[in-house]
C-alpha cells in the first residue's frame, strides 16, 4: 500500500471508491485530499510484467514517489465494514456496519463530515454496491455519485455458449441449524424471480430454478457443470450443494465456496471444514489461492486460530 507525500491515498477493500476533497473559502491554501480504494488488488500485481508489458505502470511509477506502508492491513475481510472503518476510524465491531442490514448510527462522525466542517468541499464517486448511501457512506459529502457498475454482456470465450443455472428458494432461507448457523429461517426473502431476471437480461443463456435445493435441480441429474459458485451461508445447504455438484463436475472444473470464514457464515465454514477438506491447512491454502490474501504466516485462518489461543 502506498501513501504519497502530498496527498492521502488509502487502498483498502472496496470496489473503486474515490473521494476528492478541496478546501473552499480558506484564508490560506490547504492540500487536496484524495482517497482511492481498489478492491482485491494484490500488492505483487502492481509490479507484475505480463507479455513483456507492465500491468500497472502508472501505479508502479506513483509508488516510487510515495511513502509506502507494506504491512498495512484491512480492518475487515470484506468491503463494507473495511471502508466504514476508514471513514470512521473505528474497528468493525465498534462502528457496527458488519452486515447488509446495518447502517452507521447518526451519532458516529465520519471523515467527510469532519472535513466538511473544516470548510473542505467534498465529493465521492462510488460504483460499488457495497458502499451504498443508506449504509452511511454518503454522509458529509456535498456530492455522492453512486452508480453501481457491472457486466452487461458475457465476453469470456470460455463462458459463451454455456448455460448459467441459478438456484434459489426466492422465499428466504430454509430451516437452519441454530447451533451452528448465524442466519435465521426466511432471511433474504426480499427478492423475486422477476427481479433477478431483470438483472440477467442480455447476459446470455440462463435458467432459474426456484425452490428448495436439491429438489429444484430435478431433471439435471445428467447435466455436467464446469463451475459451481456455492453461496448459501448455512451448514446443511453447503453439504447439499456439494453432494449434488461434486460428482457432476467436468474434468478441470471448480467449486468456489463463498464467504468462508465470514462472521455470519459459521455453518458454511463448519461444513467445509468437516465434509470438504482433509484438514485446516488445505482450507487455509484454498483461501489464500482464491483471494490472494496472505498477510499472515500460515494463512489468515491459521493466524486467527493462533491468536485466539494467546
Domains of the chain: 2-146 (no CATH), 164-276 (3.40.50.150)
Among 188, 139, 193, 190, smallest CA distance to 166 is for: 193
pLDDT band for position 115 (50/70/90)?
A: very high
Q: In whole angstroms, what is the distance from residue 271 CA to residue 237 CA?
A: 9
Decide if 42 contacts 292 (C-beta within 8 A).
yes
Among 199, 270, 197, 204, smallest CA distance to 233 is for: 270
Q: And the C-alpha cell for 94?
A: 465498534
pLDDT band for position 282 (50/70/90)?
A: low
Q: And the C-alpha cell for 48?
A: 507484475
- Neighbouring C-beta atoms of residue 7, cutoff 10 Å: 14
Q: In whole angstroms, what is the distance from residue 146 CA to residue 17 CA?
A: 9
Please provide residue 271's backbone torsions phi and psi, each rounded to the nearest 5 degrees: -65, -45
Q: Which residues contact 88 (CB under 8 A, 6 or more apart)?
A: 94, 95, 104, 108, 109, 110, 111
Residue that the C-alpha cell 449504509 belongs to: 135
Q: In whole angstroms, what is the distance from residue 293 CA to residue 22 CA?
A: 34
pLDDT tens-digit series, residues 181-209: 988 999 888 889 998 888 787 777 889 99
Helix locations, 7-77, DSSP H: 57-64
The pLDDT of residue 151 is above 80: no
Q: Is the dihedral of CA 145, 147, 149, 152 positive or negative?
A: negative
Range with lowest mean pLDDT among 97-101, 126-130, 283-287: 283-287
Residue that the C-alpha cell 430454478 belongs to: 209
Instruction: Look at residue 129 in the predicted model and tell me its pLDDT.
Output: 82
- For strands 16-23 and 33-38, give the pairing: antiparallel
Helix axes 300-309, 280-291, angle to 10 degrees: 130
Query: What's the Cα-to-Cα distance from 239 to each of 22, 28, 96, 216, 268, rounded to whole Å?
Result: 52, 63, 31, 15, 9
Q: H or E stretch including 228?
A: strand 225-230
pLDDT tens-digit series, residues 203-254: 778 899 999 999 999 999 999 999 899 999 999 999 999 899 999 999 888 8
Q: In whole angstroms, what is the distance from residue 113 CA to residue 122 CA?
A: 9
Strands (DSSP E) contained in 39-196 are 49-50, 53-54, 67-68, 120-126, 143-146, 164-168
Stated pTM of the model: 0.58
Amino acid at each position: 500500500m502506498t501513501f504519497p507525500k502530498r496527498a492521502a491515498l488509502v487502498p483498502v477493500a472496496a470496489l473503486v471508491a474515490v473521494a476528492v476533497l478541496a478546501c473552499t473559502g480558506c484564508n490560506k491554501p490547504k492540500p487536496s485530499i484524495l482517497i482511492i480504494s481498489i478492491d482485491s488488488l494484490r500488492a505483487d500485481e502492481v509490479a507484475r510484467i505480463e507479455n513483456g508489458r507492465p500491468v500497472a505502470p502508472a501505479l508502479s511509477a506513483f509508488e516510487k514517489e510515495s511513502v509506502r506502508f507494506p504491512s498495512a492491513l484491512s480492518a475487515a475481510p470484506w468491503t463494507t465494514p473495511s471502508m466504514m472503518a476508514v471513514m470512521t476510524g473505528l474497528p468493525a465491531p465498534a462502528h457496527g456496519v458488519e452486515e447488509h442490514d446495518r447502517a452507521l448510527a447518526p451519532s458516529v462522525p465520519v471523515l467527510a463530515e469532519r472535513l466538511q466542517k473544516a470548510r473542505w468541499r467534498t465529493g465521492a464517486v462510488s460504483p460499488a454496491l457495497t458502499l451504498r448511501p443508506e449504509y452511511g457512506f454518503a454522509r458529509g459529502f456535498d456530492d455522492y455519485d453512486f452508480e453501481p457498475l457491472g457486466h452487461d454482456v458475457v465476453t469470456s470465450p470460455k463462458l459463451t455458449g454455456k448455460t448459467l443455472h441459478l438456484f434459489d428458494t426466492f422465499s428466504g432461507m430454509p430451516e437452519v441449524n441454530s447451533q451452528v448457523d448465524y442466519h435465521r429461517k426466511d432471511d433474504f426473502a426480499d427478492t423475486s424471480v422477476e427481479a433477478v431476471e431483470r438483472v440477467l437480461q442480455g447476459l446470455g443463456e440462463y435458467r432459474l430454478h426456484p425452490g428448495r435445493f436439491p429438489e429444484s435441480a430435478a431433471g439435471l441429474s445428467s447435466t455436467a457443470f464446469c463451475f459451481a459458485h456455492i453461496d448459501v451461508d448455512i451448514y446443511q445447504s453447503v453439504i447439499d450443494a456439494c453432494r449434488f455438484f461434486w460428482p457432476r463436475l467436468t474434468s478441470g472444473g471448480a467449486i468456489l465456496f463463498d464467504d468462508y470464514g465470514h462472521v455470519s457464515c459459521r455453518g458454511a465454514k463448519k461444513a467445509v471444514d468437516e465434509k470438504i477438506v482433509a484438514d485446516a491447512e488445505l482450507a487455509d491454502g484454498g483461501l489464500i489461492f482464491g483471494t490472494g490474501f496472505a498477510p499472515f504466516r500460515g494463512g489468515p485462518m491459521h493466524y486467527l486460530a493462533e491468536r485466539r489461543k494467546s
